[in-house]
């Protein structure tokens, strides 16, 4: 679980990495463009120019390759898990940090089992990302309400905070890669969470009002056995 928290914070590194990658690629691109402009102006390129261009292209190819390895998710196996257990574990894990900020978790947990076909660590990552956002939205402390229940053929999870909320004009940008309204935010938490939820055939909906709080609704289909062993 510490690993997940670390990863949530490490998203910061990914952001810096992306900026770095863009920068690294821009240099060889500029060189390539320069050579092509020379050619266009009638200064025919010689063998040495072409060699340099090829090596610059090779550099771009290398950088992109490295980034792809990093970004590529490992094959993931779906298992039948009770989401109540996963959520309880995450809440226990975050409890001391919440206390530190005068925040309490108020839970309503279904007495019925809530089985979902999932990759446990990925769902934990989603809960950590969303709960951290809720906590960060309440600098003066308060309560975060978390409920989990069966709803038709789904499991519905609601995470509601009474924090600063999201202004309407900001709302449309939330979830875009690298969009953050925080000084040291990454702007990757919602994007990553949404992508995990979609891979689990679920939905993630954000409802918010500036000044009064934010609710995130998650919906996952109840586990059907044929989903088990599915590989992403
Ligand atoms: P980060 O937390 O690094 O900023 P996220 O993708 O997790 O990146 O969130 C993007 C933005 O969405 C946040 O910067 C914030 O403006 C807004 N946001 C997300 N969740 C909440 C919330 N519970 N309360 C208020 N704003 C939120
Ligand atoms: Mg976040």
Looking at the DSSP assignment, which residues form a beta bridge with residue 209?
A: 213
- Residue 186, C-beta contacts closer than 8 angstroms, at least 6 positions apart: 11, 12, 14, 15, 178, 180
Phi, psi of 157 (to 5 degrees): -120, 130
Looking at the DSSP assignment, which residues form a beta bridge with residue 115?
A: 82
Query: Could you tell me the mean pLDDT of each successive run of 10 residues in the chain, 232 residues long?
Result: 75 66 81 91 89 89 68 72 96 92 97 93 91 97 97 96 97 87 82 88 97 98 72 49
* Strand 103-109, strand 142-151: pairing: parallel
Q: Is the pTM of this model over 0.80?
A: no
Q: Which ligand 1 atom is the nearest neighbour of the CA of 134?
A: 23
The reply to whether ligand 1 has any atom less than 6 angstroms from the CB of 180 is: yes
Number of Cβ within a 10 Å radius of residue 13: 12
The reply to whether ligand 1 has any atom less than 6 angstroms from the CB of 8 is: no
pLDDT of 107 reads 98
* Strand 115-118, strand 79-82: pairing: antiparallel
**9-45 pLDDT tens trace:** 666 666 666 776 777 788 889 989 999 998 999 988 8
Closest ligand to C-alpha of residue 179 is 1
Q: How far is the CA of 135 from the centre of ligand 1 (A)?
A: 10
The reply to whether ligand 1 has any atom less than 6 angstroms from the CB of 189 is: yes
pLDDT of 232 reads 47
pLDDT of 59 reads 81
Q: Which ligand 1 atom is the nearest neighbour of the CA of 190?
A: 6
pLDDT of 16 reads 63
Whole-number Cα distances in Å, 79 to 112, 153, 228: 19, 18, 6
**72-86 pLDDT tens trace:** 555 678 899 999 999
SS3 68: helix
The reply to whether ligand 1 has any atom less than 6 angstroms from the CB of 213 is: no
């Amino acid at each position: 679980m510490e690993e997940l928290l670390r990863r949530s914070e490490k998203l910061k590194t990914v952001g810096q990495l992306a900026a770095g990658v863009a920068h690294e690629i821009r240099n060889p691109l500029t060189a390539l463009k320069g050579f092509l402009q020379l050619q266009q102006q009638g200064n025919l390129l010689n063998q040495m120019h072409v060699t340099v261009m090829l090596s610059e292209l090779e550099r771009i190819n290398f950088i992109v390759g490295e980034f792809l390895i990093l970004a590529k998710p490992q094959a993931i196996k779906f298992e039948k898990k009770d989401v109540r257990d996963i959520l309880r574990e995450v809440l226990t894990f975050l409890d001391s940090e919440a206390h530190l900020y005068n925040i309490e978790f108020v839970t309503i947990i279904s007495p019925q089992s809530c089985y979902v076909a999932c990759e446990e660590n990925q769902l934990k990552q989603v809960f950590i990302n969303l709960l951290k956002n809720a906590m960060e939205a309440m600098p003066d402390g308060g309560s975060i309400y978390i409920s989990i229940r069966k709803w038709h053929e789904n499991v519905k999870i609601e995470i509601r905070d009474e924090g600063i909320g999201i202004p309407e004009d900001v709302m449309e940008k939330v979830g875009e890669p690298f969009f953050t309204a925080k000084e040291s935010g990454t702007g990757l938490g919602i994007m990553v969470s949404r992508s995990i939820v979609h891979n689990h055939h679920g939905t993630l909906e954000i409802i918010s009002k500036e000044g009064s709080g934010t609710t995130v609704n998650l919906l996952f289909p109840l586990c059907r056995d044929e989903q088990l062993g599915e590989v992403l």
